């Protein structure tokens, strides 16, 4: 049913006033919505279709670990809005985002099944990942769910782990790859480029006057998942159009800055976009951040970065065209 109309999103269980129509449900944090998650969603949609029912994903905001174990400082691949967008693109009918609080964390697995899955949602079938567990103390593991299904008459399907070139598609692995700048490997697991987004802020305004390369600046919080410090080849999406670019994530040691920033020089672009939202896809890590003797040496290096980035973007475009030719000529 997922492609017939926009996905319905509930942000509180109290908004669900009646059980859904023959819902097939999956539950998870779905951070990054990687290929493993996408296979899970496909299975839910397939089973919902066979029942002439509703495909449903349940997730939580904030991430449960940010509430129950705040000291570990988990950093997420995607924020809640990105996750919602990606789940809608996957084609599900309904997304339920449960506010995760300390009170909710005390919910037992049995109460979750009875009060939320069965009574509130009306679940007819459950699909989960191979390692999923929920409820206080992670009581709701696979064995528990299968036993509940037998007792309460709902089938439980378990989706096996998904590997790409021998690497497990998992949110943990994606975070690790992002933090080390391995963007091509990240793309393999996500099925798309890793993206950062935000509103363009006023920066130091050195890029144009001092270096000859004006930049759009995004604020990056130290609490967010930060890619490896350095320079990247990017695609920049602004006002629905896509441009090439180079991005520097770091502290600008040449100028002695101390605050982490993300500065993007957008190719063939000369518009005032302060205050506008932009999205930046990270294609390739070019080099680490380094301190230069001054603005002139830095400007020369930026020129070399731009030349290399344009070559990478040209090669990427050739790959897209070649794959299209192979697809339609085969």
Q: Catalogue the active-site residues.
A: 263
Contact 124, 24 (CB under 8 A): yes
Alpha helices in 34-160 (DSSP H): 35-50, 64-68, 80-90, 102-105, 109-111, 142-152
CA distances for 325 relative to 43, 192, 317, angstroms? 30, 20, 12
Q: Which position has the token pair 């999205």?
A: 279
DSSP three-state, residue 178: helix
Indicate the length of the chain as a whole number.
330
Q: Which residues pair with 158 in a beta bridge?
A: 128
CA distances for 109 relative to 16, 97, 116, 131, angstroms? 20, 18, 10, 15
- Tell whether omega for the bond before 62 is within 30 degrees of 0, i.e. cis: yes
List the structure tokens of 329: 């000529």
Concatenating the DSSP letter of every residue in 269-287 gives -----TT-EEEEEEEEEEE
User: What gap in Å lies between CA 58 and CA 206, rounded to an integer?
Assistant: 46
User: What gap in Å lies between CA 328 and CA 253, rounded to an integer?
Assistant: 49
Contact 237, 276 (CB under 8 A): no
Residue 312 has phi, psi (to 5 degrees) of -65, -45
């Amino acid at each position: 049913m997922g492609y017939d109309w926009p996905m319905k999103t509930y942000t509180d269980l109290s908004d669900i006033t009646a059980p859904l129509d023959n819902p097939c449900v999956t539950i998870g944090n779905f951070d990054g919505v990687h290929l493993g998650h996408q296979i899970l969603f496909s299975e839910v949609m397939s089973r919902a279709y066979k029942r002439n029912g509703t495909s449903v994903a349940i997730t939580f905001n904030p991430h449960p670990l940010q509430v129950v174990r705040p000291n570990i400082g988990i950093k997420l691949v995607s924020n809640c809005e990105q996750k919602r967008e990606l789940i809608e693109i996957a084609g599900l009918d309904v997304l339920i985002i449960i506010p995760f609080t300390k009170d909710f964390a005390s919910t037992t697995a049995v109460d979750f099944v009875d009060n939320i899955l069965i009574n509130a949602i009306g679940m007819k079938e459950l699909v989960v990942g191979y390692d999923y567990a929920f409820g206080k103390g992670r009581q709701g593991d696979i064995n528990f769910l299968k036993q509940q299904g037998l007792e309460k008459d709902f089938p439980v399907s378990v989706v096996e782990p998904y590997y790409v070139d021998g690497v497990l598609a998992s949110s943990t692995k994606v975070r690790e790859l992002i933090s080390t700048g391995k963007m091509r490997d990240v793309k393999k697991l996500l099925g798309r480029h890793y993206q950062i987004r935000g509103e363009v802020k006023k920066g130091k305004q050195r890029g144009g006057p001092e270096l000859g390369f004006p930049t759009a600046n995004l604020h990056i919080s130290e609490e967010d998942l930060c890619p490896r410090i350095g320079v990247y080849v990017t695609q920049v999406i602004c006002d629905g159009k896509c441009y090439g670019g180079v991005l520097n994530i770091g502290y600008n040691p040449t100028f002695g800055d101390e605050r982490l920033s993300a500065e993007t020089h957008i190719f063939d672009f000369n518009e005032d976009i302060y205050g506008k939202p932009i999205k930046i896809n990270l294609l390739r890590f070019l080099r680490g951040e380094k301190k230069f003797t001054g603005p002139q040496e830095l400007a020369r290096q930026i020129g070399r970065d731009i030349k290399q980035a344009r070559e990478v973007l040209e090669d990427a475009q050739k790959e897209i065209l070649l794959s299209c030719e192979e697809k339609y000529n085969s």
